[in-house]
Structure 1
Amino acid sequence: MKPARPLLAAFALLLALATLFAQAATPPPAQPASQVFYQIFFRGFRDSNGDRIGDLKGLTSKLDYIRRLGATTILLTPLQPSPYYHNYFATAFKAVDPAYGTLDDYFAFVRAAHAQGLKVYLDEEFQYVAEGNPWWRDSICKPHAKYAGYLLWKDKQHCVAEPFLGKAKWLGYDGKSYGIAMVNLENPAVKAYFQNLLLYWADPHGDGSGRDGVDGFRIDHMMDDLDHKGLDKNLFAGFWTPIFRALKTRRPGLRILAEQADWGYGEKWLTAGHVDMVFAFPLRGALVSLDKQTIVRNIRATDAATPAGKIQVLFLENHDVDRYMSEVHDDPAKARAGAAIELMLKGDPLIYYGQELGMRGMQPKNIGKSGGIPLTDAVGIPVREAFRWQADLDAAGSAIWYRGDQWFWKDRYNRSHDGVSLQEEEARPDSLYHWYRKLLALRHARPEIEGGSQRILCDDDSAVLCILREQGDRRTLLLVNLGRTDAKPRLDPKLVSGAAWADLLDNDAPTVPDAVLHPMQVRIVGTLPPH
């Protein structure tokens, strides 16, 4: 038996070398393809049956519009039943609000989106439940009920649920009050329930194929210690990470986008929370200001907070903030400048439905004050009005679900024949809609914009923002004059000389990068390969 030892050692060495070579030959995981999100506030997008409520069949009928615009990924606000119009705070989780359609309608939508090459992300919020949810309804004053341990309670008799943000009742836009209770996310049965729920939406057939499954999730209001109460804590490690691991084991390409609850840079969520993407909230604030120094400072801070392989989702609007056109006081030049910066920067951009038309809307500032707007969930309606398909707001398909005699209808921002509709803007070559289409087509055509590196040039006290995107020998330079007078970018002569540059917004017409720009003028120039 002694002579066998050298052979055994040699075999072990060969096995180790084979493993080493196999590891060396394994390519690094591919970086996820760049995405352009199109976020839809579901109730306000497209009605198919005449009840003025956006629904699944209406959305499915307009997938070609989203694709032609240049988006690659649809992000939906929640679909589950809820007493609230926005469908956050569910009464059931594995269900669709009947006003939107059926589960069959939902899966038909997912199949149709995938057939058009579009990805689908669902917005998930299950840290709370609304009054009417069976976990709550069937457990009140019944501490031994089946689901009593699924919620957090303030008393041993389970007669008072732990409320959302400390308030027992919340007033809905319909004038009715509903309770919202915190879920016991530390309960193993609750963890298992939500893991299986997300696996169902990601892989309905349970075979790993993802047929009819979503491509990602947005996690609403993600926190490590929910509402800082010390009741649902260590959620990153104990709740979210195991669920994300199970999802990616089943669907390796699935992506997780977190709404970081503090609206900061999201570094903790990208590292300890193990999500793939966060929202670039501070940068959004800078883009509202259109101040060069503020934008530069936030670009640098955002880049510094983003680990390799992670993504910041860039946005000007979403369902929780004011419309960008209203933020820039209806100035079309500023709206174009903001759009160009958002769509040309490093990161995955998000377009909120109607942003590409310049839809307006601001949440009221006099909420809860004497003579002001009452504090209800209706305060968000002005930024969630119906998508403008036709010049006539009353045209068939318009999802004016909020029509009535309340302030949010009487004071609505979008009016018939106001020039802010797809019908009107498609007919105007110089419209904001066509500007978005041009920018998105440019983004898809230039790989250095979709996935290249990013450098800030003109880092001086001038008003010209200069962002260089590079990949290999390809270069694209974004130039925006954010000042009030004509200005010329101060570019390094070594950078701009020795190459043929073209104005990418003017059919690749030859140009020089350091030409004078008018106030709020946008130029995007790129190097061209030799012909």
Structure 2
Amino acid sequence: MHTIRRWFAAAPAALLLALAAASAPAGDAPPPRAADEVFYQVFERSFRDSDGDRIGDLRGLTGKLDYIRDLGATSILLTPLQPSPYYHNYFATAFKAIEPAYGSLDDYFAFVRAAHARGLKVYLDEEFQYVAEGHPWWDNAICQPRAPYAGHLLWRDAQHCTAEPFLDRARWQGYDGRDIGIAMVDLHDPGVQRYFRELLLYWADPHGDGSGRDGVDGFRLDHMMDDLDRKGVDRDLFAGFWTPLFRALKARRPGLRLIAEQAGWGYGRDWLVRGHVDLVFAFPLRGALAKLDKRAIVDTLRATARDTPPGKDQIVFLENHDIDRYMSLVGGDPAKARAGAAIALLLKGEPLVYYGQELGMRGRPLKDVPVSDAIQIPMREAFRWQAELEAPGSAIWYRGDRPWWTGRYNRSHDGVSLEEEQADPDSLYHWYRTLLALRRARPELREGGQRILCDDASAVLCLLREDGARRTLLLVNLGAADARPALGAKLAGAAWADLLHGGADASPAALLHPMQVRILGTR
């Protein structure tokens, strides 16, 4: 990425250092309160390699926990760790196990302890509505209706020779060309329910004493549905499967948090109310942020607020492992990338940063390739620790002569690496650090209310976050021409400081250039 100095350049180094010092947790720090969380999502295979095999692993992740903490995140959300024939490790062949390429159970627990020692929470991604070919529940029950695990899966025939498949086909292609079967689990089977209750209790409370020591702080429930795949064969799951499971988890660990990836990617109210999860992902809001359209953002913010009951929350995000990288969506424009980041990180809700988003990593789904899990590799490329893509530690597990490597987005010395951006005070990386430090330093940005001002036809987005007398005002010109916020007398009588430029006196009514961001706070 080429560095471009803009009117809204990153905060001066002195301000950033002061904010970071105020916000960075010390070792052995207590975990953040729920409303204070900032999630950092890691695609494990692509993050950091520790042993030279080019596959990201748990030891590599553990060695970079200080980076995640110092960026300003409080919580790590992992993609699945269980063994699977697929590179993304969804569709497991074992549940109470760790993918061998990632390490061992000892490596996993060492990672959890190291994260907790730094005040970081840990969330596991769980997807157990299906099993892949090779799982003993399937292998040992094929054409054996009386086998011990036969009732754990759904079958299309009385002889149990044909399992009910994932979606509309029996086998799915992996990026390596293998066709692999995926079967649906019968989530109403008592043995299945007992197994997953014990499994999640193990990850949440490994010592079984209610302390939660070495346990995770929450779970992401992938592809959560009430009627799985809308087939009518695994239905009424909110009441029959999820609610009893959550009740058992909360009885053991009351502070455990449950996140639904709501199927359909809507506002998620049904999951928050009938599904009894704590958080859902703000998918419609992400769609509006992708457009950087003021009216779409304002309308979606209001709809999101209406569909989020008290005590529940939304995870606000620009990227995740399934969707286009934001820098690619905005055409590589650093100004738009900064504007989107400022809105997403300072809105009401709990923000999520997908690994490499803070560097402006790029990636869009592959085209003109067979339907397989390879399509999404471009959004899951190796985190750029150094300017040289193939430097030691780089998790380029996808290296080879296939389109996901030959047509890769990340190239050596392209300006999109931590090494290059740390040296540039105007980089996107430093912009993210500044925004996250501001969020940590100002309580109203974490726990305060939110008001939409300037609700007019102009392109200036005006959001006021307030907590008692503390107020922060975010102003972003999303248009193509200079514009002035139409605030009228709404903010009369307050003395405002420019939080990005040393706290100098500032006027909320000052002119904004296209894609300029201004963040003001009351003294």
Q: TM-score range by the shorter chain?
A: over 0.9
Residue 526 in 1 paired to residue 484 in 2? no
**Corresponding residue SS for 2:73:** coil
Residue 386 in 1 paired to residue 392 in 2? no
Alpha-carbon distance between aligned partners in 2 of 1:75 and 1:410, rounded to the nearest angstrom: 29
Pairing of 1:481-496 with structure 2 (within 5 A): 481-493=477-489, 495-496=490-491
Residue 115 of structure 2, aligned match among 113, 116, 120: 113
Pairing of 1:136-285 with structure 2 (within 5 A): 136-285=138-287
Residue 505 in 1 paired to residue 497 in 2? no
Shift of 1:243: 0.7
CA contact (8 A) 1:454 1:467 kept: yes
In structure 2, the residue matched to 1:132 is: 134
Question: Given residue 511 of structure 1, which amino acid in structure 2 is its aligned partner?
Answer: A
**Corresponding residue SS for 2:271:** helix
Shift of 1:33: 3.3
Alpha-carbon distance between aligned partners in 2 of 1:213 and 1:31, rounded to the nearest angstrom: 17
In structure 2, the residue matched to 1:375 is: 371
**Corresponding residue SS for 1:505:** coil
Residue 358 of structure 1, aligned match among 340, 346, 360: 360
Alpha-carbon distance between aligned partners in 2 of 1:224 and 1:350, rounded to the nearest angstrom: 25
In structure 1, the residue matched to 2:10 is: none
Alpha-carbon distance between aligned partners in 2 of 1:492 and 1:526, rounded to the nearest angstrom: 18
In structure 1, the residue matched to 2:15 is: none
Alpha-carbon distance between aligned partners in 2 of 1:160 and 1:213, rounded to the nearest angstrom: 37
Question: Larger deviation: 30-39 or 405-414?
Answer: 30-39
Alpha-carbon distance between aligned partners in 1 of 2:452 and 2:206, rounded to the nearest angstrom: 45
Residue 437 of structure 2, aligned match among 441, 447, 457: 441
CA contact (8 A) 2:265 2:284 kept: yes
**Corresponding residue SS for 1:523:** strand
Residue 470 in 1 paired to residue 472 in 2? no
Question: Given residue 500 of structure 1, which amino acid in structure 2 is its aligned partner?
Answer: A
In structure 1, the residue matched to 2:422 is: 426
Structure 2, unmatched stretches of 5+, are 1-31
Pairing of 1:320-359 with structure 2 (within 5 A): 320-359=322-361
Alpha-carbon distance between aligned partners in 1 of 2:265 and 2:303, rounded to the nearest angstrom: 14
In structure 2, the residue matched to 1:417 is: 413
Residue 94 of structure 2, aligned match among 70, 92, 95: 92
Shift of 1:166: 1.9
Shift of 1:373: 1.1
Shift of 1:182: 0.1
**Corresponding residue SS for 1:164:** coil
Question: Given residue 500 of structure 2, which amino acid in structure 1 is its aligned partner?
Answer: L
Alpha-carbon distance between aligned partners in 2 of 1:34 and 1:300, rounded to the nearest angstrom: 22
CA contact (8 A) 2:156 2:164 kept: yes
**Corresponding residue SS for 2:191:** helix
Question: Given residue 465 of structure 2, which amino acid in structure 1 is its aligned partner?
Answer: R
**Corresponding residue SS for 2:101:** coil
Question: Given residue 462 of structure 2, which amino acid in structure 1 is its aligned partner?
Answer: C
CA contact (8 A) 2:35 2:350 kept: no
Shift of 1:504: 0.6
Residue 41 of structure 1, aligned match among 35, 43, 58: 43
Alpha-carbon distance between aligned partners in 1 of 2:389 and 2:111, rounded to the nearest angstrom: 25
Shift of 1:311: 0.6
Alpha-carbon distance between aligned partners in 2 of 1:374 and 1:204, rounded to the nearest angstrom: 42
User: Structure 1 residues 419 and 31, CA, compared in 2 at 3 Å: closer, same or farther?
Assistant: closer
In structure 2, the residue matched to 1:294 is: 296
Shift of 1:500: 1.3
Shift of 1:451: 0.6
In structure 1, the residue matched to 2:391 is: 395
CA contact (8 A) 1:220 1:258 kept: yes
Alpha-carbon distance between aligned partners in 2 of 1:447 and 1:142, rounded to the nearest angstrom: 59
Q: What is the number of residues matched between the two proteins?
A: 492
Q: Could you give the per-residue CA deviations for residues 132-164 of structure 1, whole angstroms, max 9, x where no partner exists?
A: 000000100000000010000011100010000
Residue 458 in 1 paired to residue 454 in 2? yes
Shift of 1:398: 0.2
Shift of 1:31: 7.6
Alpha-carbon distance between aligned partners in 2 of 1:188 and 1:145, rounded to the nearest angstrom: 15
Residue 81 of structure 2, aligned match among 79, 89, 106: 79
Question: Given residue 35 of structure 2, which amino acid in structure 1 is its aligned partner?
Answer: A
Shift of 1:111: 0.1
Residue 57 of structure 1, aligned match among 56, 59, 62: 59
Question: Given residue 506 of structure 1, which amino acid in structure 2 is its aligned partner?
Answer: H
Shift of 1:507: 1.3
Alpha-carbon distance between aligned partners in 1 of 2:54 and 2:448, rounded to the nearest angstrom: 43
Question: Given residue 463 of structure 1, which amino acid in structure 2 is its aligned partner?
Answer: A
**Corresponding residue SS for 1:112:** helix
**Corresponding residue SS for 1:74:** strand
Question: Given residue 473 of structure 1, which amino acid in structure 2 is its aligned partner?
Answer: A
**Corresponding residue SS for 1:179:** strand
Q: TM-score scaled by structure 1?
A: 0.92
Alpha-carbon distance between aligned partners in 2 of 1:221 and 1:398, rounded to the nearest angstrom: 30
CA contact (8 A) 1:31 1:309 kept: no
Question: Given residue 421 of structure 2, which amino acid in structure 1 is its aligned partner?
Answer: E
CA contact (8 A) 1:463 1:483 kept: yes
Residue 517 of structure 1, aligned match among 499, 503, 512: 512
Q: TM-score scaled by structure 2?
A: 0.93
Query: How much identity, in percent, do the aligned residues show?
Result: 73
**Corresponding residue SS for 2:128:** coil
Question: Given residue 209 of structure 1, which amino acid in structure 2 is its aligned partner?
Answer: S
Alpha-carbon distance between aligned partners in 2 of 1:496 and 1:193, rounded to the nearest angstrom: 56
Shift of 1:492: 2.7
Shift of 1:67: 0.2
Q: Could you give the per-residue CA deviations for residues 281-328 of structure 1, whole angstroms, max 9, x where no partner exists?
A: 000000000010000000000011000010100000000000000000
CA contact (8 A) 1:135 1:150 kept: yes
**Corresponding residue SS for 1:466:** strand
Question: Given residue 376 of structure 2, which amino acid in structure 1 is its aligned partner?
Answer: G
- Specify which structure has the bigger relative contact order, considering alpha-carbon pairs within 8 angstroms and separated by 6 or more residues: 2
Question: Given residue 42 of structure 2, which amino acid in structure 1 is its aligned partner?
Answer: I
